[in-house]
Structure 1
Amino acid sequence: MGIFPDLELVQWIWIVFAALLIGVSKTGISGLLTLVIPILAAVFGGKASTGIILPMLIVGDIFALLYYKRNAKKEDILKLLPWTFLGLILGLVIGGYINDEQFKSLIAISVLLCLFLLIYFEKKADQIKIPDKTWLYALVGILAGFTSMIGNAAGPIFSVYLLAKGVKKENFLGITAWFFFIVNITKLPMQVFVWKNITVQTFALTGLMIPFIGIGAVLGAFIIKRINERLFRYLIIGMTAIISIKLFF
């Protein structure tokens, strides 16, 4: 095709599949987004793939907001955002000095730590309450911002935070939609002007993928209404575990 003439048919198939997964993840099972990262990295390479993914994520965020924009408490987002922006800047700077393998290892370590905490909270849910402390928002915000900037991989960390707080399914998706829409819009000029891995071609590719992201979004909204609360939590844990281990390899 004209936009990326060097891509083969099988690569286009993977891109379409990734677009569908982005849509499903934004309105349904958020853990599916982590599977998109290695798919597009295999097609486009490390840092280049983050530029390909980001505009598609923003389209997915818009679909998610159309479904869940009323199901979020702004307080849960505002407390994290200043620290998240700090994490974005940290990721922007460090991303220019480390190679792909190094920052993938950093992401994997962060996510595995959060996975351990998630399982612990799942077992001790009745005995533990998440403290409303500045240090907690700072830790989650910086980690989420850093991993989002490096590899669009903040989903598991943010999921751990929300599930550990006991956020219900509908509110979970609403908070996630608003949070990542704000974060991804903030990242856009950083990647366009600093990393220079988002171009006119990138936006054109995203335009082609909008119908597939939309189909995925409708499918995700359909699926999530038919999943019970406990299964939803286990799916998040399972997806987080799979991608965390995969990031090491």
Structure 2
Amino acid sequence: MAIFVGMSKTGVHGTGMISVPLLASVFGGQLSSGIMLPILCIADVIGVWYYHRHASWVHLKKLFPWAVVGTIVGTIVGSMIDDHIFRMIMAVTIMASVVIMLWLEQHKEDIPDNKPFAAVTGTAGGFTSMVGNLASSVMAVYFLSMRLPKDAFIGTTAWFFMVMNWFKVPFHVFAWHTISWNSFLLDLIALPLIGIGAFIGILIVKNIPERIYRLFIIGMTLVAAIMMLI
């Protein structure tokens, strides 16, 4: 699981989402999101360290305010639903993202690059990030639609998730109580594996052409959706 997360943060997007249903099947939806978050925070730092120069801040500035709104809404909604609904939200989110990605590949000329589209995506990203750490699929839809080059895609997503994941920590600690000292110690054990995964991810991304990289993201997202529904 930690290796998959490390790979996802250095460009092999989608592998991190595979670990979401694996963890949810053991600990349940809400608790698993709290266990996963510190691992993501650590891996985010590695991703930003390696790809920080490639971020598109024009897009990030549009997304951040709305992502904060989505995170707050996700915190409120997440505290009101049971674990079954939590998992269903995860599955529907990933499947919807796959459908949208496939549609975008066929309708490149119809993609809106405006504030309302960024507002909807940012809010959805914040919400799904809080409810299941699934914003990767939602934000992939947005950044793929913006036609960002491979390195810019990775660098921009790295900054987005580092900021938002660290922002979410107090909500998990004080509102949901899904992060404890024991869960944090469990996450620290995974630190070496995160580093290994990050290194593997860098090697893989360097050898994937732009077109194949886009299809790879879609394919890995689909695999994660299937795993969530099983």
Contact 1:110–1:143 under 8 Å retained in 2: no
Secondary structure at 1:80 match in 2: helix
Contact 2:35–2:179 under 8 Å retained in 1: yes
Residue 54 of structure 2 is aligned with which of 58, 71, 75? 71
Structure 1: any 5+ residue segments left out of the alignment?
1-17
Residue 97 of structure 2 is aligned with which of 114, 129, 151? 114
| 1:23-172 superposed matches below 5 A | 23-125=6-108, 127-128=109-110, 130-172=111-153
Secondary structure at 2:53 match in 1: coil
The answer on 1:242 being equivalent to 2:228 is: no
Q: Could you tell me how far apart the structure 2 residues matched to 1:248 and 1:211 are?
A: 30
Question: What are the superposed Cα offsets for residues 121-153 of structure 1, whole Å, 9 maximum, x if unpaired?
Answer: 21232x33x323221111101111111101001
Larger Rg: 1
Contact 1:65–1:177 under 8 Å retained in 2: yes
Q: Could you tell me how far apart the structure 2 residues matched to 1:246 and 1:57 are?
A: 20
Runs of 4+ in 1 over 6 A off after TM superposition: none
TM-score, normalised by the number of residues in structure 1? 0.88
Contact 2:71–2:127 under 8 Å retained in 1: yes
Structure 1 residue 246 displacement after superposition:
3.5
* Amino-acid identity (%): 39
Contact 2:18–2:227 under 8 Å retained in 1: no
TM-score, normalised by the number of residues in structure 2? 0.95
Q: Could you tell me how far apart the structure 2 residues matched to 1:247 and 1:219 are?
A: 25
1:192 maps to: 173
**For residues 205 and 169 of structure 1, do their structure 2 counterparts lie closer, same or farther at Cα, with a shift above 3 Å needed?**
same
The answer on 1:175 being equivalent to 2:156 is: yes
Higher helix share: 2
Structure 1 residue 110 displacement after superposition:
3.4
**For residues 42 and 107 of structure 1, do their structure 2 counterparts lie closer, same or farther at Cα, with a shift above 3 Å needed?**
closer
Q: Could you tell me how far apart the structure 2 residues matched to 1:22 and 1:123 are?
A: 29
Question: What are the superposed Cα offsets for residues 96-127 of structure 1, whole Å, 9 maximum, x if unpaired?
Answer: 111122133233333333322221221232x3
Q: Could you tell me how far apart the structure 2 residues matched to 1:140 and 1:124 are?
A: 18
Moved more, 226-235 or 236-245: 236-245
Secondary structure at 1:28 match in 2: coil
1:3 maps to: none
Secondary structure at 1:167 match in 2: coil
Structure 1 residue 187 displacement after superposition:
0.4
| Count of residues in Structure 1 that have an aligned counterpart in Structure 2 | 230
What is the alpha-carbon root mean square deviation over aligned residues?
1.4
Structure 2: any 5+ residue segments left out of the alignment?
none
1:13 maps to: none
Question: What are the superposed Cα offsets for residues 152-194 of structure 1, whole Å, 9 maximum, x if unpaired?
Answer: 0110110111111111110010001000000000100110111
Q: Could you tell me how far apart the structure 1 residues matched to 2:32 and 2:93 are?
A: 21
1:7 maps to: none
Q: Could you tell me how far apart the structure 2 residues matched to 1:204 and 1:51 are?
A: 13
Structure 1 residue identity aligned to 2:209: N
